[in-house]
Amino acid sequence: MKTQFFFLVVLFLFLVSGFLPVFAKDQVLLEQIKRMQKNIDSQNGLPWGTHGVAKGYHSNFEKGTRVHPTRAAMDYAAYFLASPLKEHQDQGNSLLEKVLSLQDQNPESKTFGVWSWYAEEPLTQMAYVDYNWADFQGAVLAVILHDFPDRLSDEIREKAKKALEYSCRAIIKRNVGPGYTNIAIMGAVVTAAAGEILETPEFLDYGRKRMQRNLDYYKEAGGFNEYNSPTYTMVVIHELERMLYLVSDPECRAVTTELLGEAWKMVAEHYHVPTGEWAGPHARSYSDRLSRQTRNGILSRAGVLPENIVIDSVPLVSIVPVPNSLQHFFKDIPQNPIERHYVFAKGRPEFNVCGTTWMDSTATLGTATYHTFWEQNRGLIGYWTNSGSPTPVLRLRFLHNGSDFSSAWGRHRQSGTKIVSAIGLLKNQGSMHPSFDRPKKTGTFNATSFQIVYQLEAKNATVKTLDSNRFELAAGQIRAVVHVADHCSFNDTTITWKTEQKDNFAAVIGICYEGEEKMFPFQEMGEIRIGTALELLHSDAKPSESPVKFVESNLETKEDGKFYGVLWSGVNDNQPLLAPLKPTNH
């Protein structure tokens, strides 16, 4: 009798220990679905959202407009179908049927296989069609068909299979190259997964070859083209996890595993434990600081998520832990200053894109050797610890009428906590976006202002003028001193410098132009000479007294014309940072 009782107790404990994680996961999922249900429009059954970017960025809606996003609808459908409750699964079927009906399913159409961003703005009404929606929607659709085919009605299952096929047709027709990092990888995942789910060898073969092409490009370039991106490196990681979750093909899995290791190496070497931020420079990012969701996603995979942090959502696919050899990066505080150098993209010698990332136990500072000032680029960015939150963020920006200007570029050379910089213009890009809003007359912009802005966002941020060429931005125990060369000029006009301070914001601003709206034809611009420097100082360290100097250069190229040089002691004593005197086509 005692033996039987003991056996029953052991069996009970085994069953409980085995099912507890499942119960906990289901509970989190059900709470997540409850939140989602509150966001569904009772009139049409689709989730609400907000257009979050400026008018003209794909959509013609004004920023802040309330809309029904098709991508969110697909995600909601997947989560409802994942629920153990039949009522949720039925709602998932209904949602999926609605979102599938919004795909362009006309084989003769240019946008065949693609979805619009919003239910109320069809593809024909968008400012610019986002062909990536075939990839994003196809990725989730593949998970639905892989995990929950038996939870779909026969009719909806067949519609879903057709929609996935059409997504693949759009992806293959577009055939994005490996330079478009996140979409190049996502398209490979969708097609490979569809190849196995739909039993279509053509799709699997394409996905396999495309993934190999991505790896070959990575090895040749030395990194991802969308380098060190807090947004898109995580998209890449999510998609590589999706490949390992959905696809059994050995070749796909081998290449995916290798790329996943490289992606995590980039994250690991840029994660700054003291601030909990992702050190720069960043090719593409939608915010200056990591979101709680992104940080938790990183730390949960690294096995170092603080005990008081609870993950409040369930991922659609199984996450893959950070390789053991890299996990220490997410818990170790640098005891000595660390400086790392990267090659991100190779081109003409004057336009190679390389990165420098410096960090110590309290701060981090990063730069790219060449970048544009598109709002998603952060070619010079720094973080440091400070009492209270949020983390102080230091950035360099170039603004056109108060907004980030895609037609300006920055060049930087960094040594430790010191950076020397030059700034110029491009003749072949837009203002808000590199291509969407290019002016009808190439390189001609109307402007009421052009500004260079060194800004610090931090609790109790301050700025003060040290002398006519030096300014100090400070928060807590760390200061950033900005140095400017004498006679910086924009369109043959001398740039004036001022400071600005308001709640938790301080800036050093170079006024290139300010006044009545005026036309600036970049093809006919006068000379531009902008030379600046920055140094990050701890405690009471004294700022450098060496001036930033302009020097003449013998470099002249057919593509970019004459160059000038910028020198600053401690970074490039003998080798000036070179920059074109006029707007370029690069």
Of 116-130, 193-207, 355-369, 439-453, the poorest mean pLDDT is in 439-453
Q: What is the Cα gyration radius of the chain? A: 26
Q: In this prediction, what percent of the chain has a pLDDT beyond 90?
A: 81
pLDDT tops 60 at residue 208: yes
Write the DSSP symbol of residue 433: S
Give the residue with greater pLDDT, 240 vs 179.
240
Strand 338-345 to 380-384 pairing: unpaired
pLDDT digits (tens, 9 = 90+) for 424-482: 999 989 999 888 888 888 789 999 999 999 999 999 999 999 999 999 999 999 999 99
Cβ contact 282:290 at 8 Å: no
Q: Is the pLDDT of residue 526 over 70?
A: yes
3-state secondary structure of 25: helix
C-alpha to C-alpha distance for 388 and 391, rounded to whole angstroms: 8
Q: What is the mean pLDDT of residues 25-31?
A: 88
Distance between CA atoms of 5 and 389, rounded to whole angstroms?
56
Q: What is the pLDDT of residues 213-267, one digit of tens each?
A: 999 998 888 788 889 999 989 999 999 999 999 999 999 999 999 999 999 999 9
pTM for the full predicted model:
0.90
pLDDT surpasses 70 at 350: no
Please compute the mean of the pLDDT values over residues 543-563 and round it to a whole number. Answer: 93
Q: What is the DSSP string of 261-277?
A: HHHHHHHHHHEETTTTE
Domain ranges across the chain: 1-29, 39-174, 176-333, 337-580
H-helix or E-strand spanning residue 137 = helix 133-147
With a CB cutoff of 8 Å and minimum separation 6, the contacts of 109 are none
pLDDT reading at 574 higher than 90: no
Spell out the residues 6+ positions from residue 272 whose beta carbon is closer than 8 angstroms to its own: 278, 279, 359, 364, 383
Least confident of 40-49, 86-95, 141-150, 225-234: 225-234
The reported pLDDT for the residue numbered 17 is: 39
Q: What pLDDT score does 59 carry? A: 96
Instruction: State both tokens at 277.
Output: 């931020």
pLDDT computed for residue 365 by the predictor: 98
Q: Give residue 345's pLDDT band: very low, low, confident or very high (50, 70, 90).
A: confident
Among 36-40, 361-365, 573-577, whose mean pLDDT is lowest?
Answer: 573-577
φ, ψ for residue 303, nearest 5 deg? 70, 20
Under a CB-based contact definition with an 8 Å cutoff, are residues 116 and 99 in contact?
A: no
Q: Using alpha carbons, select from 247, 161, 243 the residue that is nearest to residue 198.
A: 161
Tokens 């053991």 label which residue? 324
Where on the phi/psi map is residue 317: left (φ > 0), alpha (ψ -120 to 50), or beta?
Answer: beta
Which tokens belong to 197?
């789910």
What is the Cα 92 distance to its own chain's centre?
30
To the nearest whole percent, how much of the chain has pLDDT over 70? 94
Q: Which of 192, 62, 60, 76 is nearest to 140 (CA)?
A: 76
**What pLDDT, on a 0 to 100 scale, did the predictor assign at position 262?**
94
